[in-house]
Structure 1
Amino acid sequence: MSGKENAITLRFLAEPADVNFGGKVHGGAVMKWIDLAGYACAAGWSGKYCITAYAGGIRFLKPIYVGNIVEVSARVSYTGRTSMHLSIEVKAGDPKGAERHLTTNCILIMVAVDDAGSPTPVPEWVPKTKLEIRDRESALKLMELRKQLTEHMASHSAL
């Protein structure tokens, strides 16, 4: 699938409307940005409209402040038949300098859908670099952990 992009970075400034009562960008705004970058990456790879099926492991590591430049990077780490697993990193810093620090990371699973909203096949993504191979292995491990968690939660809620 030459010509398809398997990664994207969105960049913008954190605005006053994004701030919580503590004076920092609120988690909901960050999650929205993550979803936007995930959609752009998944649609770019698949060439199709995509929906978010799962967001997990979100970790808020450092705050983002108003006026920071924010970079939200998404990259394909695994493809299933209709789904794409994406690794997401959010970095931020003073726009007057080059330094950016990791503020948030997580995993998204996006599903390509047709005009009727049914899942539709996506092109296979094959890792080539060491980082891509590590990402794919991590995605496979996380799939197994999610399956175990789902089974555990189902048995717990059946009590």
Structure 2
Amino acid sequence: MAGEQRDLTLRFLAEPADVNFGGKVHGGAVMKWIDLAAYACAAGWSGKYCITAYAGGIRFVRPILVGNLVEVRARVIYTGRTSMHLALDVMAGDPKLSERHLTTHCIVIMVAVDEEGKPSAVPEWIPQTDEDKYLRESALKLVQMREKIGDEMAAHIKHLGL
């Protein structure tokens, strides 16, 4: 039911097909996993099909090794009228051990859409805990920062004559 599933975790093993030339899991594979978890979380919250509108602030903190158990946690940290801001953390470690390390973190914005592909309203997420309130405020600050970056990018493109 919409508005009830705020977070989820996808778990799987990193496979040899995910490796880059350096022998570690390819960043593109990690980004795909992030997008999958963001979609599943946003669809669960909204009860609707969702599209990725933004992925940013991706920090690759630590490499993932082939054979690692990978956990991709997505959680809603802010909702707009049709959008959901999600914090995503990727954790990984030896599946024989209980310890997992943060490998990647980012923010993804998903937009719910109707059958015609038009933005569609989502249930409001209301923070309950102090941590939730902090995450919501952080998401709002990031909105302001993205607006400034967007203005700078537009000026840059205009300057280049593109």
Q: Same fold judged by TM-score > 0.5?
A: yes
Q: Where in structure 2 are the equivalents of 1:8-47 lying within 5 Å?
A: 8-47=8-47
1:21-100 equivalent positions in 2, closer than 5 A: 21-100=21-100
Q: Which amino acid aligns with 1:12?
A: F
Q: How much identity, in percent, do the aligned residues show?
A: 70
Are 1:126 and 2:151 matched, yes or no? no
Q: Is the 8 A contact 2:91 2:104 kept in 1?
A: yes
Aligned 8 A contact 2:3 2:45 in 1: no
List per-residue Cα deviations over 1:97-132 (Å, max 9, x = no partner). Answer: 100000000000000000110100000000001111
Q: Which amino acid aligns with 1:94?
A: D
Listed as ranges, the gaps of 5+ residues in structure 2 are none
Task: Give distance in 1, aligned partners of 2:2 and 2:15.
Answer: 37
CA–CA distance in structure 2, aligned partners of residues 26 and 105 of structure 1: 15
Change (3 A) 1:2 1:80: closer
The Cα shift of 1:156 comes to 2.2
| TM-score, structure 1 normalization | 0.97
Tell me the SS of whatever aligns to 2:125.
Answer: coil
CA distance in 2, matches of 1:2, 1:41: 11
The TM-score normalised by the length of structure 2 is 0.96
Give the number of aligned pairs. 159
TM superposition shift of 1:154: 1.2
Matched, 1:156 2:150: no
**Distance in 1 between residues matched to 2:38 and 2:113, nearest whole Å:** 15
